[in-house]
């Protein structure tokens, strides 16, 4: 079994957070940012990779400001980005309802929900801009639910005791993405944004520590193209699909971010991976992904298991006194709206103790019986109708009459490329937005903060910070296609494709991906141990060796070849997975979604170690042989909390 000797780097990283009160940091930063005059903006070219809420928002805003923008997506249209999959809502401290919500309460909930492993000043920016996000999305056509008098309606999400989540039934991400994609298409029509579809970014051109462009592959023809740029934005989403069975779409991947990491961008907290407590359970061997059921369902649904282990009676045959509403019992102040990390661990405990339900005994019940009796079926249908329809389509069961079955599933990555307060990575000129970054969520994301963070990054942060960077590079030419840095990057990207095609083995990439997911769920899942992580690292290294010796990719690289696309993404997951386990092995504490069984309180809650671990780990890639990277170097950025003092999380 591996015992890791992990090199550490000094001095600490500088996040370039403005000094002073974190509540006013964003206002002061914007006041001192450099500007690019309107007549000079057209001299700059910016590449935006990804067209979800963060990517579409950034490309549209920068295009409207007058910059030349080239936007890349591997989809056939911008609106198909994975932001459409978010269901329940988007948070904002805007409503000021009688429940006493405020900007300060938003910050407290988010910092506490992330178990004090986020950058506090970033969270203040998230809260401040949340008000503008809702007004902006409402103005560009997002059909938010409304009260009878016309005001926007809100509901609650996990980890909060107020109603701050704006929503469009169970289709919030879809409706926001449609609105954002329309603003992007408006700039495409205006000529300020060039949208390149069916393209996958394979690598970044980096020279002298600065990004100068991207190398992409046309997925229809296999042609390799280069786009030079003065700045690059990666808004490519999260890496939860490394677990194979996840709530993410099959095309979701880490490859562009991982290319940046291999070129020098630090990767922050890769082990912080959220398991959503209301995913549909895996029910058979052939199942290729899990399906997300919105956390908003926990507003009215009650979660329970049979009190008697091994009870296999139908749910409706189990009387009330023989049901254990375990979240309401353990966390009475929050009940079924306990944060996701806590709810997922509680479900796992019940399942492993023999109280799981369903054919494979791997789920718990989410029951709407009481809500339907109290409110009526019509109200529940108005709030969650499309989600109930989706559940019925997936399972063949009617959730109006039979409790839903749910289970924790790999979902959202709080880790991502490390960036400073301006959202610039450790590579000069390379910026990150949305789930591809790390800043807001700490070790556990509160529900409905995902759509918000993507919108804040793309629409209201990067349009300020990128011009501040570009102002110092006026009149600099783009790199020529024959520049040595460009030709070498093209050769590297092409060589990697050829290496995948040349393995000549017998096993498809899906088989390796599925096995990787089993290793990660077992060794780096809802609960982790030092021994289990060390074993997972050994298993991943062995699997990666088998991948590079037995991979089969039919066809060539000069045509549409989806097997080649998948193989490249799985190769990157096989490297990322080791870093995830190394990070979890190294972080000798429990915090949020990173739960080490050797660091827990007597009643089974996560036990932080603020004296030794109150920092974000940011990992530096070290080269190795093909598919076998060297041992990464850990950098760290200390975290301080002025407005929300360090405290033990308590949701009871």
Sign (positive/negative) of CA torsion 582, 237, 135, 172?
negative
Sign (positive/negative) of CA torsion 199, 489, 576, 418?
negative
Residues 6 or more apart from 511 whose CB is under 8 A from it?
A: none
Tell me how long the chain is.
652
Q: How far is CA 394 from the centre of its chain?
A: 24
Nearest to 279 by CA among 397, 387, 398: 387
Helix H or strand E segment including 540: helix 530-550
Cβ 306 vs Cβ 323: under 8 Å: yes
Helices 562-586 and 484-502: angle between axes, nearest 10 degrees: 100
Rounded distance between C-alpha atoms, residue 41 and residue 70, angstroms: 14
Ramachandran region, residue 475 (left: φ > 0; alpha: ψ -120 to 50; beta: rest): left
List of E strands, 327-419: 364-367, 404-413, 416-417
Pairing of strands 199-207, 210-218: antiparallel
Q: At CA 548, angle to CA 624 and CA 550, rounded to 5? A: 165
Nearest to 433 by CA among 126, 21, 194, 189: 126
Pairing of strands 323-324, 302-306: antiparallel
Cβ 230 vs Cβ 46: under 8 Å: yes
Is 8 a catalytic site residue?
A: no
Catalytic residue among 212, 298, 340, 496: 340
Rounded distance between C-alpha atoms, residue 388 and residue 380, angstroms: 9
Cβ 155 vs Cβ 445: under 8 Å: no
Q: What are the CB-based long-range contacts (under 8 Å, 24+) for 308-311?
A: 309/353, 309/354, 309/355, 310/354, 311/355
HSE at residue 145, side-chain half, CA atoms within 13 A, is: 19
Sign (positive/negative) of CA torsion 631, 566, 289, 160?
positive
Three-state SS at 528: strand
Cβ 83 vs Cβ 245: under 8 Å: no
**Residues labelled as active-site residues:** 340
């Amino acid at each position: 079994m591996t015992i890791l000797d992990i090199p550490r780097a000094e001095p600490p990283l500088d996040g370039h957070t403005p000094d002073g009160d974190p509540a006013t940091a964003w206002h002061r930063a914007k006041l001192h940012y450099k500007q690019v005059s309107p007549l000079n903006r057209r001299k700059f070219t910016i590449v935006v990779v990804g067209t979800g809420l963060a990517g579409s928002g950034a490309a549209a805003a920068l295009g409207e400001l007058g910059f030349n923008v080239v936007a890349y997506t591997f989809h056939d249209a911008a609106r198909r980005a994975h932001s459409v999959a978010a269901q329940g809502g988007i948070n904002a401290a805007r409503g000021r309802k009688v429940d006493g919500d405020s900007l300060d309460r938003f910050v407290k909930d988010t910092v506490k929900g992330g178990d004090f492993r986020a950058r506090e000043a970033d969270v203040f920016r998230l809260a401040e801009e949340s008000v503008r996000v809702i007004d902006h999305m409402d103005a560009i056509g997002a059909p938010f639910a409304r009260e009878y008098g016309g005001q926007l309606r809100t509901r609650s999400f996990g980890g909060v005791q107020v109603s701050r989540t704006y929503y469009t039934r169970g289709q919030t991400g879809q409706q926001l993405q449609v609105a954002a994609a329309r603003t992007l298409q408006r700039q495409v029509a205006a000529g300020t944004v060039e949208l390149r579809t069916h393209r996958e970014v394979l690598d970044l051109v980096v020279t002298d520590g600065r990004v100068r462009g991207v190398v992409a592959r046309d997925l229809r023809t296999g042609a390799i193209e280069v786009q030079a740029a003065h700045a690059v934005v990666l808004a490519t989403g999260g890496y939860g699909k490394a677990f194979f069975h996840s709530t993410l779409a099959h095309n979701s991947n880490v490859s562009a971010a991982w290319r940046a990491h291999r070129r020098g961008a630090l990767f922050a907290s890769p082990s912080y991976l959220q398991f959503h407590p209301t995913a549909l359970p895996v029910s058979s061997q052939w199942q290729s992904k899990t399906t997300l059921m919105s956390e908003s369902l926990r507003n009215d649904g009650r979660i329970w298991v049979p009190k008697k282990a091994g009870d296999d009676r139908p749910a409706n045959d189990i009387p009330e006194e023989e049901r254990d509403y375990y979240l309401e019992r353990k966390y009475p102040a929050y009940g079924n709206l306990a944060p996701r990390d806590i709810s997922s661990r509680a479900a796992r405990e019940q399942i492993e103790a023999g109280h799981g339900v369903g054919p494979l005994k791997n789920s718990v019940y989410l029951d709407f019986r009481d809500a339907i009796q109290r409110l009526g079926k019509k109200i529940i249908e108005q709030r969650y109708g499309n989600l109930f329809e989706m559940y019925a389509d997936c399972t063949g069961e009617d959730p109006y009459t039979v409790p839903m079955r749910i289970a924790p599933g790999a979902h959202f990555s709080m880790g991502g490329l490390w960036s400073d307060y301006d959202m610039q990575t450790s590579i000069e000129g390379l910026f990150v937005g949305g789930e591809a970054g790390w800043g807001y969520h700490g070790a556990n994301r509160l529900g409905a903060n995902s759509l918000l963070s993507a919108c804040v990054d793309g629409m209201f942060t990067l349009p300020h910070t990128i011009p501040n960077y570009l102002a110092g590079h006026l009149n600099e030419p783009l790199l020529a296609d024959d520049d040595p840095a460009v030709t070498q990057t093209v050769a590297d990207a092409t060589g990697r494709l050829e290496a995948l095609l040349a393995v000549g083995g017998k096993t498809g990439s899906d088989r390796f991906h599925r096995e990787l997911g089993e290793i990660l769920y077992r060794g780096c899942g809802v609960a982790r141990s030092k021994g289990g992580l060390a074993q997972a690292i050994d298993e991943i290294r062995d699997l990666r060796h088998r991948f590079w010796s037995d991979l089969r990719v039919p066809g060539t690289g000069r045509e549409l070849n989806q097997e080649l696309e998948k193989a490249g993404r799985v190769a990157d997951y096989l490297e990322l997975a080791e870093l995830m386990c190394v990070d979890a092995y190294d972080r000798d504490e429990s915090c949020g979604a990173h739960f080490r069984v050797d660091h827990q309180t007597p009643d089974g809650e996560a036990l932080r170690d603020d004296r030794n671990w109150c920092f974000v780990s940011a990992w530096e890639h070290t080269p190795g042989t093909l598919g076998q990277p060297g041992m990464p170097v850990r950098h760290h950025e200390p975290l301080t909390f002025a407005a929300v003092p360090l405290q033990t999380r308590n949701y009871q």
